[in-house]
Structure 1
Amino acid sequence: MEVSARLAARLAELRVERGWSLEELATRTGVSRSTLSRLERGEISPTAALLGRLCTVYERPMSRLLAEVESEPPQVVRVAAQEVWRDESSGFVRRSVSPPHPGLRGEVVEATLRPGTDISYDAPPVPGLEQHVWVLEGTVEITVDGHAHIVEAGDCLRFRLWGASRFRCPGPGQVRYALVVVLP
């Protein structure tokens, strides 16, 4: 079963584990019931923003959710085996460089945003989530709890996330960065 199908099944499991109807999940996320239903049946793939909303209501970082649909990670992960997730509508590409594991607190992710990409998250999936963003190529504007930071190639932004966040690629080229996520 491919990652997107396992993700759809896991999202349905999380809702059922909490005893929520699709209607209740729609109310909690602000996403229509029909969209959530199609998502859980694997008819559509989630955008980064939608996945962010779901992670918030399920209180888990995106990395943990994606780890739950991947098999047990080996100690060495060759580039060809690293899971890649794409949100074609926003231009966000996420590579799990070091796949997360439920027993570990940190992971490394490589992310790429094409020019013009603008992704906002209403709340962190886990309050106090620690992130380190090291820009490898290009420039990204990252807004954390209302404070905007311009982060350029070679720069690293470190923060704990308690509120809303936004990642924007002003261009003219893409931005590529390494993201280190550490659970509180």
Structure 2
Amino acid sequence: MKVADADILIVPGWQNSGPDHWQSRWMEKMSTARRVEQDDWENPDLDRWVDRLVETVEGATRPVVLVAHSLGVPTVVQASGRLARRVRAAFLVSCPDVEDETRVPAMLRHFGPLPLDPLPFHSWQVASRTDPYCEFERAERWSRHWGTKLLDAGDAGHLNTESGQGPWPEGVLAFAHFMKEL
């Protein structure tokens, strides 16, 4: 599938993705991409975030491909049952372990526990071995349960601007291969 044939919905995490973040850069480059806008990026609420994601997906006019990062990934996973009819695929990057009180702030833990049912659409998960918000072994477990292909990003931190992944060229290549599978 070509990017031009899909509505690419960017699903940022907590505090949104700034202008230098790879999600924002991708959105600028892809003519069919737009951000799922949340009302409150600083105080995330699972039900509101899921409802906004579902609302945005339902407004799409082409097959939907989700590109989620960080807290956007649990949002997609928690909403997956409501998205099955409209979402063609999801590219999931740096899922935080919202069940681990040593890794994420308390205000984010209500996004868990993460369902372990297979996702009802094609999906890949990208995880780093040095993500401070998730042990790689947890990402491996989720991929097995969700039926996602797991890409090992190596030593890449949380795959965000702070970890030096502004443009994230490896991600662009991976996403291109992901789209070819559709």
TM-score by length of 2: 0.31
Query: Which has the larger share of strand?
Result: 1
Larger Rg: 1
TM-score by length of 1: 0.30
